[in-house]
Structure 1
């Protein structure tokens, strides 16, 4: 009897990481790389490499991002993985980079999704509108 598929080594879709690390410690860099690897392991992806941008660039065409675009053109590459959208740069640069990633047919995956602009109505702030010491009683049927 053969082992189940879950017990066989299976190569997942290939992704490349992208980190923007301007004035970041080596420890922080390693923690971010570990978080990318963990995300890939949990989502059955294969992290093939990580491109790191170390300087605050004035545009979207940094050497690290250009290298990323080059590998995204290879066959069987699924997409790009970043810890958060902020790793693509300031908003204007990030928007253009997202367009370039999508233009080559790749997906952008984020370990941490952007926060919603407005918290949901059921948040703790909404639940604590009453003054302290106020007790609300609910009617119950017996």
Structure 2
């Protein structure tokens, strides 16, 4: 397979990513919907989703078990980045900022899935947002 250019215009062969979710409400169906969101995003952007780490605790610790697992996975060779459904999955602002710093310190990219269509807004009020947003990294 030829190396494909990815958004920052550098060759990356087989870009592998790991997902991270934080959700404390909803059951298995909510979890499945979030994983499906990450899976579809990766399919559309020709990324390989290698696994998904999930926190379900109401309290937010910067170094939760699932987040530490994500950081460990990002240290594996040839890992391109981490993907989250929205920045809110990283936690409240203070925690999210620290987590973003930890992710980019691994030289991984932080990819954020954004909804392209609000659920409640009529079509004439919808704004299309980019499907891919890079946070940090080189």
Same fold (TM > 0.5): yes
Q: What are the equivalent positions in structure 2 for 1:1-142 lying under 5 Å apart? A: 12-112=14-114
Shift of 1:68: 0.5
Q: Encode CA deviations 1:40-98: one digit per residue, 9 max, x unaligned.
A: 00000000000000103342100000011001001000000000000001111000000
C-alpha distance in structure 1 between counterparts of 2:29 and 2:60, whole Å:
26
Runs of 4+ in 1 over 3 A off after TM superposition: none
Shift of 1:12: 2.8
Shift of 1:26: 1.2
Equivalent pairs counted in the alignment come to 107
Q: Secondary structure at the match of 1:69?
A: helix
Shift of 1:30: 0.6
CA RMSD of aligned residues (A): 2.0
Give the equivalent residue in structure 1 for 2:6: none
C-alpha distance in structure 2 between counterparts of 1:56 and 1:79, whole Å:
25
C-alpha distance in structure 1 between counterparts of 2:101 and 2:63, whole Å:
13
Contact 2:83 2:113 in 1 (8 A): yes
Q: Secondary structure at the match of 1:56?
A: coil
Q: 1:58 to 1:87 in 2, by over 3 A?
A: closer
Contact 2:21 2:54 in 1 (8 A): yes
Give structure 2 stretches of 5+ with no counterpart.
3-12, 116-123, 126-138
C-alpha distance in structure 2 between counterparts of 1:41 and 1:106, whole Å:
19
Greater strand share, structure number: 2
Please give the TM-score of this superposition, normalised by the length of structure 1. Answer: 0.70
C-alpha distance in structure 1 between counterparts of 2:19 and 2:64, whole Å:
15
